[in-house]
Amino acid sequence: METDRNPDEAAHRSKLRWHCRRGMRELDEAMRAYLDHHYDDATDGERASFEALLGMQDPELYRHVCGKDRDDRFAPLIDKIARTLGGDDKALDDA
């Protein structure tokens, strides 16, 4: 699929992939899972939420991903990430 993207989209995705690299392996996996499985089909609003999450410091992001902090702005996205990590991304693709 990478070849189907224009150069600007490919560069942006590469930048996002770099920002998915975190100080914690669990966060790396969580953010890359969303990027790989859902980002391309996401709405503009969901993409903006994902990029806002990427802008957080690791401790804050970890609290959101683990469910210790719950912010209604990010709740649907965090739930999607959790289901994807749980191996339920096929069910999400069919939805």
Q: Which residue has the higher pLDDT, 79 or 92?
A: 79
Cα 81 from chain centroid?
6
- pLDDT value for 67: 87
- pLDDT value for 4: 59
- pLDDT value for 43: 95
Mean pLDDT of the chain: 86
Is the pLDDT at 93 greater than 60, yes or no? no
pTM comes to 0.81
Q: Which residue has the higher pLDDT, 91 or 40?
A: 40
Rounded to an integer, what distance in angstroms lies between the CA atom of residue 95 and that of residue 91?
6
Rounded to an integer, what distance in angstroms lies between the CA atom of residue 69 and that of residue 48?
19
Average pLDDT over residues 26-52: 94
SS3 of residue 58 by DSSP: helix
Helix spans in 20-94 (H):
25-37, 44-54, 58-65, 75-85, 89-94
